[in-house]
Structures are given as structure tokens and as C-alpha cells.
Amino acid sequence: MTQAAPETDPDRAAVLDAQALAGLTMLDPTGANRLVQRVLSTYHASLGRLLQQIADGQQRSDHAAVRLAAHTLKSSSASIGALDLSRLCGSAEQAIRDGQLEAVPPIIQGLQAEARRVALAVQAMLSA
């Protein structure tokens, strides 16, 4: 087998939680249904869309749109093990909910940087 297991690949492990990936793998242990690939592919496609919704919402000062997109991205990121990204999304969501709008832009900036790392890790897994 040429592909390293998620828990032994240090680059992926730094971005994607091995336990979350193992949990997905256990749902399709033989890989016959390509569940992990399908989940990651769907996530990868939605990541770009949700990041665009966050950017558009920020540009329009539509805090509700930013909060909704961050909430959605938080859940889907957690499900694939992108825990740092999920936490950043939660921070953005909470800051908006608490009315701490001045805290949102730097959180979003960090969220976007982490999203780029996650996208690369997911892309690498899909290409393996």
C-alpha cells in the first residue's frame, strides 16, 4: 500500500485529526463504498463555497450571513477532523453572537489561513 495511514502521516496529522479520520474509515472499513473519499470530496467543494459566503458577508457587513456560514463550516470541519478550523469558526460565530464585531476580522483572517491548510491536506488525501 503506497498511501500512508492518516494517523502516521505527520503533515496530515497536523491539520486533520487522526481519530476523526479513523472514525470515518470505520464506517466503510473495506473502502468499497469510497465513503472517506466521497465525504472529503463533498467537504472540499463546500469549503470554497462557505469561505466565499463568509467573505461576501464580511464585505456587505452582513454579520448574520457570516455567522451562518461559519456555523456550517464549523460542523463540517469537525466531522472530517479539521479541529483548528472548526474552533476558529466557532470563535467567529461566538464573537458575532456576542456583538464583538471588532474581533471578527482577525478571526476570519486566521480562519482563512487555516482553511487553506485544510484544503491542501484534503486535496492530498484525495490525490493519494
pLDDT tens-digit profile of 9-62?
445 447 999 999 999 999 999 989 999 999 999 999 999 999 999 999 999 999
Flag whether 96 is in a domain: yes
Contact 107/84 with Cβ under 8 angstroms?
A: no
Asked whether residue 101 is domain-assigned, the answer is yes
CATH number at residue 70: 1.20.120.160
Residue-number span of the structural domain to which 29 is assigned: 6-127
Sequence-distant contacts of 5-8: CB under 8 A, at least 24 apart? 6/125
Measure the CA–CA gap between 34 and 76, rounded to whole angstroms.
18
56 occurs within a structural domain: yes
**Domains: count for the chain:** 1
Residue 45 lies in a domain: yes
Confidence of residue 128 (pLDDT cuts 50, 70, 90): confident
Is 119 part of any domain? yes
Residue 1 in domain:
no
In a domain, 103, yes or no: yes
- What's the pTM value of the predicted model, to 2 decimals? 0.87
